[in-house]
Amino acid sequence: MTVALMFLGVFLVPTLLLIVGHRIRRRAPRWRRMFWGAIAGYVVAMVVGTAAGIFPPEAWGPADFWRGLLGLGTFLLAPAVGAVIGMATATRRSQAA
pLDDT digit string, tens, across residues 49-94: 888 878 777 777 777 777 778 878 899 899 999 999 998 986 666 5
Q: Which structural domain, as residue segments, surrounds residue 42?
A: 2-96
pTM of the model: 0.80
Q: How many domains does the chain have?
A: 1
Stronger pLDDT, 41 or 94, i.e. the higher one:
41
Distance between CA atoms of 54 and 29, rounded to whole angstroms?
Answer: 38
